[in-house]
């Protein structure tokens, strides 16, 4: 896997228990690199399809670098799941990610390497329920890795009911990669 022997990506293995996952999420809050959660109930397969939900939040664009990096290294296809919002922020974020992918494809073409393939799928739900939809539609997308942005700050609902990424990890059939949304904490070496 892309994260095996890769110091740029932290691997977090745990049981599929709410308390264990939450404690590890808390431990990763200041992590500078992307981190992959693997629970005892997940199936690990070669990476052929990456699911990247994209909401209205500006930090969603940080997923462009990591998803492009993984797709380039593995040949995986990227599925951008665009939130079905009234406004244009989710669409703009998808466009920014596509621009990043296309620039990477230009560099790959100059090196005679295969391009990164991707598609944009319109979600049924809005930005607030996008992570939930990604979890519910796992069988539809047949993805091998889910890439999410970790919650920037835990609000009252996250404290009471748990952050959306914890729920996604608990219900995921495949590994879940989290990207820390704070710009000063994000880094990925190539």
Contact 96, 138 (CB under 8 A): no
For the CA atoms of 67, 69, 73, 76, the dihedral, rounded to the nearest 10 degrees, stands at 20
Instruction: Give this prediction's pTM.
Output: 0.86
Q: Which residues lie across from 149 on neighbouring strands?
A: 179
Question: Which sign does the torsion angle of CA 161, 162, 163, 166 carry?
Answer: negative
pLDDT at 183: 54
pLDDT at 78: 96
Contact 149, 59 (CB under 8 A): yes
pLDDT at 189: 44
CB count within 10 Å of CB 160 equals 8
Mean pLDDT by 10 residues, the chain (190 residues): 76 82 81 86 89 89 90 94 90 94 94 94 90 85 89 51 74 87 50
Tell the burial category of 62 from Cβ atoms under 10 Å away from its Cβ (0-12, 13-18, 19+). buried
**pLDDT tens-digit map of 136-169:** 888 888 899 999 888 655 444 545 555 667 888 8
Give Dmax (Cα) for the chain: 51
Return the beta strands (E) in 9-154 as ranges: 10-14, 35-39, 49-54, 77-82, 118-122, 145-149
Tell the burial category of 190 from Cβ atoms under 10 Å away from its Cβ (0-12, 13-18, 19+). exposed
Helix, strand, coil percentages (3-state) for the chain, rounded to 5, are 40, 20, 40
Instruction: Quote the distance between the C-alpha of residue 60 and its chain's center.
Output: 9
pLDDT at 163: 67
pLDDT at 182: 59
């Amino acid at each position: 896997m892309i994260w095996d022997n890769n110091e740029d990506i932290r691997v977090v293995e745990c049981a599929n228990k709410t308390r264990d996952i939450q404690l590890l999420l808390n431990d990763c809050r200041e992590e500078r690199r992307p981190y992959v959660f693997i629970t005892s109930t997940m199936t690990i397969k070669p990476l052929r399809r990456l699911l990247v939900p994209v909401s209205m939040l500006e930090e969603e664009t940080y997923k462009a670098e990591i998803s492009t990096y993984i797709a380039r290294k593995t040949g995986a296809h990227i599925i951008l799941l665009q939130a079905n919002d009234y406004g244009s922020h989710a669409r703009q974020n998808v466009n920014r990610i596509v621009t990043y992918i296309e620039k990477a494809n230009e560099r790959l073409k100059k090196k005679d390497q295969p391009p990164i393939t991707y598609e944009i799928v319109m979600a049924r739900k809005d930005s607030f329920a996008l992570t939930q939809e990604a979890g519910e539609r796992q069988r539809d997308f047949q993805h091998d890795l889910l890439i999410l942005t970790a919650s920037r700050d835990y609000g009252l609902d996250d404290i009471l009911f748990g952050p959306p990424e914890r729920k996604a990890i608990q219900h995921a059939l495949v590994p879940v990669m989290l990207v820390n949304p704070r710009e000063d904490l994000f880094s990925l070496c190539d």
